[in-house]
């Protein structure tokens, strides 16, 4: 028996056909079919835009201008203590004004945001006021660049135009006062800092002066600046020693001369006192003259040698040279006299006769010789005393010289500490002078700030009561509502058109069936149903239009009522 199998019928697959391209008539047909879905959102957007625009409270903006006044005294004459640029200082002042406590004081003073204060915390109200306060950028105003001044605007926005103007005036006054207070505080702080540093430098310098004074008192004569003085003193002592030695030498020479004269006088006195016979006396006198001549010649040679040695060191105008020349001249004159006496003392025959014993004929000459001997002995004693005194002076000067030289040799031991003290003093003096100059300049700058002669802020244009609100922009809001409504309606119409896959007209039938159209049968509906649906639609549109008009009229009336 044969069994036959049959395949189950396959399910029908949906046929996907691309939509045909739309032309202008199709778009017009789409607008006609979906006009309610387009006009409804458009009218709703208009109503919402009008309601929002007129229920949105007005915001008035009061604005003024503050100018930066340059300092009255040139900065080249007095440097300012303020290191911040004007932009930084204005920004700092702005931040100080926007502090929480300042804004709370303004809110309480002018009773700002009364409704918001009932339902919002204080911090939110402060944040809202910060948003309502605006400060513009610094900009140059004026004609030429060299005469241009810097200014910036300050504005405050609020729903009450009178309060907006009052608060803006208060804010600008706070700008001016806060800037002055900040500059004065910074300048005084800088002056105080320099004054403290100056006092510290002065204290350090006084301490170093005390240390240097104590060091000088302890090491008097061993200081580096006294080294030249000590060297000069040593040089003077050495010159004094040389002078004393010269005086001692002269005194010794004078003593030698006096000794020689004393010896001659003693020999003469001895010869005169012996009184030999005339013949022997004449012979003895001749012999004595010959010995004296030899002695004088020897002394002349010695004086000439000493004179030659002295001329090597001194000029002829030197006192020692003059003295030796006078001694030498005297000795030469004495030699000539001796030679003359020897020539005149020849034996006389008549003088050889014996004389009668009696008085010594040489008594007068003997007395004269003895007197000269006493005088020379006294002179010798004076020379001895003078030489002894000079030797004492020489020993004293030599002792002081040794003491001074020892002090000079010990000077380098104290040089290092003293030089370090002087170096520290130089640094301290430089720092003291620098800080003194800076303190004076800082004090002058603070004085300028206190007298309001420095860089200041002043109100260039005071804010006036605004006549028209700057926000909201009602035409923009209404236009935005219409645009959003139209966009929403277009999107709804497009969405419905995409979802509707039915054939709308003969073009769709020809395009999708590829058949020849012989005729068309219109849709036949009940007239009563059609009229009722049309009346319901008109009623719905009338109610919607009336409600929208009432809403828009009410919002406009509310706006003008609140404004009045």
Beta-sheet strands, E only, within 28-107: 60-69
Cα torsion through 327, 332, 338, 339, rounded to 10: 180
Residue 332 maps to a domain: yes
49 token code pair: 């835009």
Count structural domains, the chain.
2
Residues 397 and 483 in one domain: no
User: pLDDT per residue over 127-158, tens digit each?
Assistant: 999 999 998 888 876 544 444 578 899 999 98
Residue 546 maps to a domain: yes
Residue 278 maps to a domain: yes
pLDDT at 286 over 70: no
Residues linked to residue 135 through DSSP beta bridges, in sequence order: 154
Higher pLDDT, 296 or 223: 296
Higher pLDDT, 79 or 385: 385
**Confidence band for 355, pLDDT divided at 50, 70 and 90:** very low
Higher pLDDT, 76 or 332: 332
Residues 481 and 389 in one domain: no
Residues 309 and 423 in one domain: yes
Residue 211 maps to a domain: no
Residues 303 and 258 in one domain: yes
**What integer pLDDT is reported at residue 1 of this predicted model?**
39
- Nearest-Å Rg of the Cα atoms of the chain is 69
What range defines the domain where residue 343 resides?
226-348+360-440
Residue 494 maps to a domain: yes
The last residue of one of the domains, among 399, 421, 440, is 440
Residue 103 maps to a domain: no
Q: What mean pLDDT do residues 187-209 have?
A: 86
Backbone angles phi, psi at 389, to 5 degrees: -65, -40
**Confidence band for 10, pLDDT divided at 50, 70 and 90:** very low
Higher pLDDT, 350 or 486: 486
Residues 279 and 371 in one domain: yes
Residues 430 and 498 in one domain: no
The top-scoring range by mean pLDDT among 6-15, 307-316, 404-413 is 307-316
Residues 389 and 490 in one domain: no
Q: What's the CA gap between 546 and 556, in Å, rounded? A: 15
User: pLDDT per residue over 158-175, tens digit each?
Assistant: 888 889 999 999 999 998
Check: pTM over 0.75? Answer yes or no. Answer: no
pLDDT at 278 over 90: no
User: pLDDT per residue over 527-555, tens digit each?
Assistant: 777 788 888 888 888 888 899 899 988 88
Residue 509 maps to a domain: yes
Residues 431 and 495 in one domain: no
Residues 418 and 477 in one domain: no
Q: What's the CA gap between 304 and 332, in Å, rounded? A: 11
Residues 252 and 312 in one domain: yes
Residues 422 and 500 in one domain: no
Residues 511 and 366 in one domain: no
**What integer pLDDT is reported at residue 169 of this predicted model?**
92
Residue 313 maps to a domain: yes
Helix (H, G, I), strand (E, B) or coil at 227: helix
**Confidence band for 219, pLDDT divided at 50, 70 and 90:** low
**What integer pLDDT is reported at residue 101 of this predicted model?**
92
User: pLDDT per residue over 33-48, tens digit each?
Assistant: 888 888 889 889 889 9
**What integer pLDDT is reported at residue 525 of this predicted model?**
66
Contacts 24+ apart (CB under 8 A), 134-142: 135/90, 135/94, 138/68, 138/86, 138/87, 138/90, 141/67
User: Residue 297: which CATH number?
Assistant: 1.10.287
**What integer pLDDT is reported at residue 155 of this predicted model?**
92
**Confidence band for 455, pLDDT divided at 50, 70 and 90:** confident
**What integer pLDDT is reported at residue 382 of this predicted model?**
82
Indicate the average pLDDT of the chain. 78
**What integer pLDDT is reported at residue 374 of this predicted model?**
80
In this structure, the number of other CB atoms found within 10 A of the CB of residue 303 comes to 20
Cα torsion through 350, 352, 354, 358, rounded to 10: 90
């Amino acid at each position: 028996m044969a069994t036959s199998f049959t395949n189950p019928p396959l399910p029908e697959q949906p046929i996907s056909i691309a939509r045909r391209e739309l032309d202008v008539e199709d778009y017009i047909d789409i607008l006609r079919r979906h006009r309610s879905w387009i006009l409804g959102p458009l009218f709703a957007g208009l109503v919402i835009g009008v309601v929002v625009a007129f229920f949105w409270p007005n915001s008035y903006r009061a604005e003024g201008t503050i100018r930066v006044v340059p300092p009255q005294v040139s900065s080249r004459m007095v440097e300012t203590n303020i290191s911040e640029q004007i932009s930084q200082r204005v920004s700092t002042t702005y931040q100080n004004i926007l502090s929480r406590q300042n804004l709370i004081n303004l809110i309480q003073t002018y009773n700002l945001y009364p409704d918001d204060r009932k339902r919002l915390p204080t911090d939110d109200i402060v944040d809202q006021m910060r948003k309502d306060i605006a400060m513009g950028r610094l900009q140059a105003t004026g004609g030429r660049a060299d005469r241009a001044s810097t200014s910036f605007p300050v504005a405050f926005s609020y729903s009450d135009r009178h309060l907006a103007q009052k608060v803006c005036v208060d804010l600008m006054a706070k700008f001016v006062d806060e800037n002055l207070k900040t500059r004065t505080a910074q300048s005084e702080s800088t002056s105080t800092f320099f004054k403290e540093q100056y006092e510290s430098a002065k204290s350090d310098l006084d301490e170093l002066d005390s240390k240097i004074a104590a060091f000088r008192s302890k090491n008097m004569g061993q200081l580096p600046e006294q080294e030249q003085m000590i060297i000069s003193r040593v040089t003077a002592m050495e010159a004094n020693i040389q002078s004393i030695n010269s005086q001692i030498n002269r005194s010794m020479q004078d003593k030698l001369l006096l000794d020689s004269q004393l010896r001659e006088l003693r020999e003469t006195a001895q010869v005169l006192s012996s009184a030999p016979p005339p013949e022997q006396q004449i012979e003895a006198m001749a012999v004595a003259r010959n010995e004296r001549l030899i002695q004088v010649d020897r002394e002349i040679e010695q004086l000439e040698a000493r004179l030659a040695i002295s001329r090597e060191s001194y000029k002829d105008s030197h006192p020692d040279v003059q003295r030796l020349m006078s001694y030498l001249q005297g000795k030469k004159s004495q030699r000539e006299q001796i030679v003359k006496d020897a020539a005149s003392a020849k034996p006389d025959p008549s003088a050889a006769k014996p004389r009668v014993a009696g008085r010594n004929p040489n008594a007068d000459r003997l007395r004269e010789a003895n007197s000269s001997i006493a005088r020379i002995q006294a002179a010798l004693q004076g020379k001895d005393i003078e030489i002894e005194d000079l030797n004492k002076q020489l020993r004293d000067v030599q002792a002081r010289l040794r003491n001074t030289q020892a002090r000079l040799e010990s000077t380098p031991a104290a040089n290092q500490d003293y030089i370090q003290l002087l170096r520290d003093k130089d640094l301290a003096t430089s720092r003291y002078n620098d800080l003194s100059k800076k303190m004076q300049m800082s004090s002058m700058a603070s004085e300028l700030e206190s007298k309001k002669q420095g860089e200041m802020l002043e109100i260039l244009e005071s804010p006036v009561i605004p006549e028209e609100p700057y926000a909201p922009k009602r035409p923009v809001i209404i236009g935005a509502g219409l645009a959003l409504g139209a966009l929403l309606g277009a999107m709804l119409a497009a969405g419905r058109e995409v979802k509707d896959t039915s054939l709308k007209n003969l073009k769709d039938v020809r395009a999708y069936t590829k058949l020849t159209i012989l005729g068309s049968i219109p849709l036949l509906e009940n007239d009563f149903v059609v009229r009722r649906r049309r009346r319901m639609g008109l009623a719905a549109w009338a109610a919607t239009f009336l409600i929208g008009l009432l809403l828009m009229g009410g919002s406009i009336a509310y706006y003008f009522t609140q404004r009045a």
